[in-house]
Amino acid sequence: MPPVVAPVIEPEKPKAKVKPIDRSQGVLRPVIVEELVGPDHKVRAIWELTGQLDLSGYYGKIQSQEGKAGSSAWNPQLLLSVWLYAYSEQVTSARYLSTLMEYEPGLMWLAGLGVVNYWTLNAFRSSHQEELSKLLAELLGVLSHEGLITLECVAHDGTKIQAQAGSDTFRRGKTLEKEILKAQELVVELERQEASGGSGNARRDAAQRRAARERNERMKLAAEELEKVRAAKKSEQERAEARVSLTEPESRNMKHGNNAIEPSYNVQISVDAEQKIIVGFCLTQSSSDSGCLQEAMEQVKETVGRYPEQSVADGGFTNQASIHDMNQSGIDFYGSLAEPEMRQAASMKAAGIDPAFGPSAFQVLTESKSLQCPAGKILEYVRQSKKGDTTYWQYQAESKDCGGCEYQKQCCPRPEKGRLVSIRMEENEEVAAFREKMKTEAAQQIYKKRGPVAEFPNAWIKEKLGIRKFRLRGMAKATTEALWGVLTYDVQQWIRLSWRPKVMAAVVGNGATQLA
């Protein structure tokens, strides 16, 4: 038998030695506030910039005064800087922001390790709209002085931002009347309870009365807004179906880019093409952009002090009224104006009419003021109409002629009333001149600036600042919050284009000096 070989037993290898992590321990460590952020951190830029701006409007509203009783108020420069930094970090919740101030390095540096409660933060954000507007104008003055704004060309666009109201809060007139009655009865009942001594909890009773009064005022506002919505409707059925939100009556249902219909506001933003700086904005209740361009240019003039030399906007803003307003204001306007033939083709497609039987297939009989169709039948003149910027003469065939025609399916899918044909006769002179201008290569090159310039800030505000839905309710407060977004965006551009290059140049210069 072969000898039995004992198995070789390898010695057990020792385990790797690593440092333990003890998360249960407490450590007392010194904090040097000045070293919490680097020299090129944006929070330093924000503090430096707010220190240069005129904040007298904020300081003038502080009731606490030196030498008198009462606690000190938080410095408005600090609160302004905290919110600008918060929005730049996509923080829009006051409660979360107050919590972040306990450990986030930038906020710890700003407040010197202090923590502002959420109520103070929210109150500061939702008020001071007038002061914020003045700060925006002052900031634009700084940017203009540094050559970052020229107003040679301003691109304009609108973007929908969702309101706080939910889609399920919209009600028709009959339901609103019941809610108004309930709100009024609740106010009367609480006042009666107060007169009889209340529940014994004065603070709770006061809070209930305040909430009831606010609800009653909101229902009254909802009734006023419902009348505005009804006034914009064309038919009685549409007016009867009109609805308004009970929680945020000033919001309107608007269609967004993802085809969702949500309660929203339309934020109109004007952008200087030189460095994509926002030079004006306004907030509207209209889902359509068609009547917003002139108001936007007025906002630019109010903020910066003058109109731009050129303005560029897409087809939603380009119409006879806008072209006329821009001419009157001395602004060279560039936009997208659809050809009448394209509009007619779209209308024919919607009606199921074959393109071969468009208006060009009908012969105008000038002497008899009528048309002759491809089948030889006569269409009599019925009226003159105006669609947008263009005047049309309309002709209509007899229903019996269309019903028995061999081309009925292609030419008149609904022969009950007979085919109606619109022939373009004349176009507004200003619109015609504008159309010819936009055919030139130079105009097309200017119009190409619109997309990259106008849409960039919209994307930035939604993606980088996180303002896809307003935190505050009501049109006035939503306007204030949009203003925070615009101000934050422009501050970030100032940091990128002006402050940081200077800081980096100084750092490089100091390094070169030390090496020498």
pLDDT in tens, 166-188: 999 999 999 999 999 999 989 99
DSSP 131: H
The residue to which tokens 């919490």 are assigned = 36
Q: In angstroms, rounded to a whole number, what is the distance separating the alpha carbons of residues 265 and 166? A: 13
Confirm if 253 and 261 have CB atoms less than 8 A apart. Answer: yes
SS (H, E, C) 132-174: HHHHHHHHHHHHHHCCCCCCCEEEEEEEEEECCCCHHHEECHH
Region label for 264, one of left (φ > 0), alpha (ψ between -120 and 50) or beta (otherwise): beta
Are 395 and 353 contained in the same domain?
yes
Residue 391 pairs in a beta bridge with 386, 426
On whether the CB atoms of residues 357 and 335 are closer than 8 A, the answer is no
Q: Which of 18-27, 297-306, 337-346, 382-391 has the largest mean confidence?
A: 297-306
- Note whether 290 and 315 are same-domain residues: yes
Lowest mean pLDDT among 214-218, 434-438, 512-516: 512-516
Whether the CB-CB separation of 482 and 281 falls below 8 Å is answered with: yes
User: For residue 510, is it within any domain?
Assistant: no
115 found inside a domain: no
Specify burial of residue 297 (Cβ count, 10 A radius: 0-12, 13-18, 19+). buried
Nearest to 84 by CA among 462, 473, 491: 491
In a domain, 98, yes or no: no
Tell me, yes or no, whether 349 lies in a domain: yes
Separation CA 222–CA 171 (nearest Å): 10
Percent of residues, the chain, with pLDDT higher than 90: 59
Domain boundary among 209, 225, 245: 245
Nearest Cα to 182, choosing from 212, 208, 221?
212
Measuring CA to CA, which residue among 459, 451, 457 is closest to residue 491? 457
Query: Among the three residues 192, 212, 245, which one is the final residue of a domain in this structure?
Result: 245
Whether residues 154 and 198 share a domain: the answer is no
pLDDT at 361: 87
| Long-range Cβ contacts of 500-508 (<8 Å, 24+ apart) | 500/40, 500/45, 503/39, 503/40, 503/45, 504/40, 507/39, 507/40
Residue 176 sits in the same domain as residue 198: yes
- Does residue 366 have a pLDDT over 80? no
For residue 59, being part of any structural domain is answered with: no
Which residues, 6+ apart, have CB-to-CB distance to 338 below 8 Å?
A: 315
The answer as to whether 215 is a domain residue is yes
**Do residues 400 and 475 share a domain?**
no
Residue 28 has pLDDT above 90, yes or no: no
Cβ pair 149, 275 in contact under 8 A? yes
The candidate with the shortest Cα–Cα distance to 419, out of 361, 468, 366, is: 361
What's the pTM value of the predicted model, to 2 decimals? 0.84
Query: Could you tell me how many residues make up the chain?
Result: 516
d(CA 431, CA 434): 5
- According to DSSP H, which parts of 8-75 are helical? 42-52, 56-59
Pairing of strands 378-387, 370-372: antiparallel
CATH number at residue 301: 3.30.420.10
Question: Does the pLDDT of residue 106 top 90, yes or no?
Answer: yes
Helix (H, G, I), strand (E, B) or coil at 271: strand
Distance of CA 42 to the CA centre of its chain: 25
Beta-carbon contacts of 278 under 8 Å, excluding residues fewer than 6 positions away, are 269, 270, 271, 272, 457, 486, 489, 490
Residue type at 270 in one-letter notation: S
- At 113, which amino acid appears? L
Q: Are residues 240 and 194 in the same domain?
A: yes
Side chain identity at 148, as an amino acid letter?
L
Structure confidence by residue, pLDDT tens digits, 458-498:
999 999 999 999 999 999 999 999 999 999 999 999 999 99
C-alpha to C-alpha distances, 397 to 205, 364, 405, nearest whole angstrom? 73, 14, 11
323 and 459 together in one domain:
yes
Domain co-membership, 276 together with 382: no
Alpha-carbon distances of 124 from 22, 252, 417, 506, rounded to whole Å: 41, 26, 63, 35
Total Cβ atoms within 10 A of residue 455: 16
Beta bridge partners, 310, equal: 153, 332
What's the structural domain count of the chain?
3
pLDDT value of position 500: 92
CA dist 131 → 50, 161, 284, 355, 362 (Å): 13, 23, 21, 58, 63
Identify the band that residue 359 occupies on the pLDDT scale cut at 50, 70 and 90. Answer: confident
pLDDT (0 to 100) of residue 95: 96
Domain check: are 154 and 258 in the same one? yes
> Per the domain annotation, does 134 fall within a domain?
no
Judged against a pLDDT cut of 90, whether residue 427 lies above it is answered with no
The residues, ordered by sequence, that sit 6+ positions from 219 with a Cβ below 8 Å of its Cβ are 176, 179, 180, 183, 246
Instruction: Confirm if 163 and 263 have CB atoms less than 8 A apart.
Output: yes
User: Is the confidence at residue 2, as pLDDT, over 70?
Assistant: no
Domain that holds residue 225: 169-245
Assess contact for 447 and 438: CB atoms under 8 A: yes
Is 419 among the domain residues?
Answer: yes
Query: Distance between CA 154 and CA 148 in Å, rounded?
Result: 13
Which tokens sit at 442? 């130079």
- The predicted pLDDT at position 499 comes to 94
Whether residue 234 is found in the same domain as residue 275? no
First to last CA, the chain: 86
Residue 122 confidence (pLDDT) above 80: yes
Are 223 and 211 within one domain? yes
pLDDT at 513: 57
Same domain for 221 and 191: yes
Q: In what order do the strands lie in the sheet with 363-365?
A: 363-365, 370-372, 378-387, 390-396, 420-427
Is the pLDDT assigned to residue 114 strictly greater than 70? yes
Domain boundary among 245, 261, 282: 245
513 to 42, 57, 183, 384: CA distances (angstroms): 25, 43, 73, 81
